[in-house]
Amino acid sequence: MRFELDEDQREFKALLRTFVDKEIVPVAREWEQSGRYPTEIVDGMKEMGLFGITVPEEYGGLDLDPVSFALVFEEIARGWMGVAGILGSHSLACRLIAMHGTQDQKDRYLPALATGERRTGIGLTEPDAGTDLQGIRTTARLDGDHYVVNGAKMWITNARYADPLPVLVKTDPQASPAHRGMSVLLIEADTPGYEVTKDIAKLGYKGTESCEIALTDVRVPVSQLVGGVEGKGMQQVLSALEWGRVNIAARSVGIAQRAHEEALAYAQQRKAFGQPIADFQAIQLKLGELGTQVQASRLMAYWAADAVRRGRADGATGMAKIFCSEVALQAAIDAMKVHGGYGYSTEYEVERLYRDSILMSIGEGTNDILRTVVAKSLIKGETRVG
């Protein structure tokens, strides 16, 4: 078994780290606190081709393997997790279109999405439906050569920039089971009745907007039905979310890595009783455990990403998302403890890492729900331990 990146992946990771250290780390805390949108960082990601990481090369994308995909989110989240979110939803939507879209949909959208000229997100969550996607209420009624869409979506990342936005709807609300009546429509931003109503204030995950969207008698051409066949929406979304769990696991590793770096540096610099606090055994125990858990989470994330490369990997990605997200939260807490009172101050990075880490156990399916996904995969023999 191999536990190392290949040469191309190592060079790619080094390139990403240089970009993050130069363009993101110096401004993240100030811009996050002021609510400033990271326009310059987005432009830099465009120049690097990062908006095309899940777009096939024939459409101008990088078409990264899943491990290299994970590296992008690990490194960017090490600098600022919210900025990683700008790429996250965009990349999942691009993959959904690339995997399931009609040839016309791929030709029309993927080239501009690959460059960042167009950006996108993914419209799944609703006020009364989060993890339970089969409970969505947004409907799309066929009327001639258009669907008429009514409903609402919330917590939509990139909502103010998404064009088009893939939106999960019920084309047959009476279907049983419900997923057989679910489809995805590509809704363009200037369509009458499609309105981004407000930005949702958040504890963390800043740098990108999370919005509510109202859909009122939105007329969407039949040609915007992903894949051109009704009833395939749930399968299309789940295939994209498998990569989404790798995304969240990798972002968690990035947060944990930064927490480790901040704790280690502070412990060597801060003095108490005439010596660096890194000399005290109590601090050493925290640093040793923190470093061990960060490295374990990294290996788990890469293992899950490689499992995706080899085929369907619900169990592996679920395990990685659960483990890495919980390591991220504990790493942020431990880094705050190493900093003492200063860890609670907004003058230091660790309080932001703490606020960002909490979302990792909620996003892309809550950890408790994912534990049932992992259990079912183990029972069916789809995932093996050992």
> What CATH fold (topology level) applies to the domain 235-380?
Butyryl-CoA Dehydrogenase, subunit A; domain 3 (1.20.140)
**How many CA atoms, within 13 angstroms, populate the side-chain half-sphere of residue 346?**
9
Adjacent-strand bridge partners of 183: 169
Q: Which of 12, 153, 24, 175 is nearest to 85 (CA)?
A: 24
Q: What pLDDT was estimated at residue 10?
A: 96
Tell me: pLDDT of 330 over 80. Answer: yes
Tell me: pLDDT of 101 over 70. Answer: yes
Class of domain 133-228: mainly beta
In CATH, the architecture of 7-115 is Orthogonal Bundle (1.10)
Q: Which of 123, 125, 62, 131 is nearest to 98 (CA)?
A: 62
Phi, psi dihedrals of residue 56, rounded to the nearest 5°: -55, 150
**How far, in Å, CA of 289 to CA of 302, rounded?**
20
- In the chain, what percentage of residues exceed pLDDT 90? 92
For the beta carbon of residue 254, count every other beta carbon within 10 angstroms: 30
For 43-81, the pLDDT digits (tens) are 999 999 999 999 999 999 999 999 999 999 999 999 999
Two tokens, residue 161: 């920039």
**How far, in Å, CA of 249 to CA of 320, rounded?**
6
Q: What pLDDT was estimated at residue 312?
A: 75
Q: What is the DSSP letter of 200?
A: P
Helices (H), 270-382: 281-310, 314-339, 350-360, 367-380
pLDDT band at 2 (very low <50, low <70, confident <90, very high): low
For 266-299, the pLDDT digits (tens) are 999 999 999 999 999 999 999 999 999 999 999 9
Please name the helix (run of DSSP H) or strand (run of DSSP E) that holds residue 288, with its range, or none: helix 281-310
CA 329 to chain centroid: 16
Two tokens, residue 160: 């103010």
Give the start-to-end residue ranges of the domains of the chain. 7-115, 133-228, 235-380
pLDDT band at 1 (very low <50, low <70, confident <90, very high): low
Q: Do domains 7-115 and 235-380 have the same CATH topology?
A: no
For the question of residue 364 being annotated catalytic, the response is yes
Q: What pLDDT was estimated at residue 302?
A: 96
**How far, in Å, CA of 88 to CA of 238, rounded?**
15
Peptide bond into 177 cis (omega under 30): yes
For 134-193, the pLDDT digits (tens) are 899 999 999 999 999 999 999 999 999 999 999 999 999 999 999 999 999 999 999 999
Amino acid at 337: K
**How far, in Å, CA of 208 to CA of 120, rounded?**
12
Tell me: pLDDT of 3 over 80. Answer: no
| Angle in degrees, CA 32, 197, 362, rounded to 5 | 55
Determine which one of 212, 230, 326, 364 is catalytic.
Answer: 364
pTM above 0.85, yes or no: yes
Q: Are 105 and 97 in contact (CB under 8 A)?
A: yes
